[in-house]
Amino acid sequence: MDKKRAVSIGVAIFLGLGAVSWVLFFGGKKEMEIRQETPAQNEETVGEQVIIESLADENVRRDGIIEKTPQQIVEEYKEEQKKPTETVIKPEKITEKSEVKKDYVSDIVERPVSFGFKKVSGERKLDTVIIHSSFNSLGGDQYDVEKIIAIYKSYGVAAHYIIGRDGTVYRLVKENDIAYHAGVSQVSDGRTNVNNFSIGIEMVGNYDDGYEQVQYDAINMLVKDMKARYDIKYVLGHKDIAPGRKTDPWGFDWNRISK
C-alpha cells in the first residue's frame, strides 16, 4: 500500500468515527430533550381535557374530536356567566288570580266579644235579619262604640254587628253563632226564639238624631251580602218581633234600605 492510499483510508475512518459520535451525542441529546418536554405536554393536555369535559356541550365530544378550541370554550363560558340570571315561567304554568269581588262590605273591623252569645258547632240555617239601635246612656260620648259594648256586657247581650256613626262595621259575634239580641220574640210565620235563625245588627243612634248616610250605606251592603249567602226571608226591626216591649230602631228610615 502506498503512502497516499494509506492517508485516504485514515481520513475516511476518522470522518466515519466523527459522524457516529455526532449522531450519538446530538441525537441522544435531542431524544433527551423530547423526553424532558413530554411530561409538560402531557400536563397541558390533561388540563385542556379537564376544561373540555367540564364545559362540554353540543359542540364538544369527549372522544377528542372538538369543533371549538378550549380557549374558545373558556371564553364563551366566561361570557355566559356575565349574563343576568332569568327565571323562566312556562306559559302553561301561569294562572291568573281570580278577582275577589267587593260589591258588599269590604272592610269589617273584627271586635269579638266573650259574652252575649252561644257557639254553634253545626251550620245554622239563617233566614232573618233584625235591625236594632242603641247609644251610650251612661255619660260621656253617647255614640262611643266601646262604651255601648260595655253596656251590652253588663246585660250579657250582644248583636252580630254594630255600625258606628262613621259607617264602620264591627263584627262582635260570628254569624254562625247564636247572639242574644232579640230576647222574647216571634216572626209573622209564628216561629219564636228568633235568635236561633237570625242575624242581629245594631245601628248607633239615639231617639232623635236618626242615622248618617254612611250608616245606611253600610247596612245596605251588609244586608246585600247576607242575601247573597243565605235565603233571607225577613229584614225586620226589633219592634216588629217584640211589639209592645221594644221600640227600636228609633227614627229608622225603612225607605233607605233595600229589603
- Residue-wise pLDDT tens digits, 214-255: 999 999 999 999 999 999 999 999 999 999 999 999 999 999
Query: DSSP string of 31-64?
Result: HHHHHHHHHHHHHHHHHHHHHHHHT--TTB-TTS
Q: What is the pLDDT of residue 14?
A: 53
With beta carbons less than 8 A apart as the criterion, state whether 170 and 164 touch. Answer: yes
Q: How confident is the model at residue 15 (pLDDT cuts 50, 70, 90)?
A: low
Would you tell me how many other CB atoms lie within 10 Å of the CB of residue 226?
Answer: 21
Residues 6+ apart with CB under 8 A from 151: 134, 136, 137, 138
pLDDT higher than threshold 80 for residue 148:
yes
CATH of 108-256 among 3.40.50.11440, 3.40.80.10, 3.40.50.170, 3.40.50.2000: 3.40.80.10
pLDDT higher than threshold 80 for residue 65:
no
Q: How confident is the model at residue 58 (pLDDT cuts 50, 70, 90)?
A: very low
The percent of residues in the chain predicted with pLDDT above 70, rounded, is: 59
Would you tell me how many other CB atoms lie within 10 Å of the CB of residue 129?
Answer: 24
With beta carbons less than 8 A apart as the criterion, state whether 210 and 94 touch. Answer: no
Q: What is the pLDDT of residue 40?
A: 43
The CA distances from residue 86 to 58, 68, 83, 89, 186, in Å, are: 22, 27, 9, 10, 67
Considering only residues 94 and 216, tell me which one the structure prediction assigns the higher pLDDT. 216
Q: How confident is the model at residue 258 (pLDDT cuts 50, 70, 90)?
A: confident
Residues 6+ apart with CB under 8 A from 210: 251, 252, 253
Q: What is the pLDDT of residue 217?
A: 97
Q: What is the pLDDT of residue 107?
A: 83
| Per-residue cell: 75 | 371564553
Q: What is the pLDDT of residue 10?
A: 54
**Averaged pLDDT of the chain:** 76
pTM of whole model > 0.85? no
> At 249, phi and psi to the nearest 5?
-80, 125
Q: Where are the domains of the chain?
A: 3-82, 108-256
Least reliable range by pLDDT among 69-73, 118-122, 127-131, 211-215: 69-73
Considering only residues 216 and 92, tell me which one the structure prediction assigns the higher pLDDT. 216
Task: Measure the CA–CA gap between 62 and 234, rounded to whole angstroms.
Answer: 83
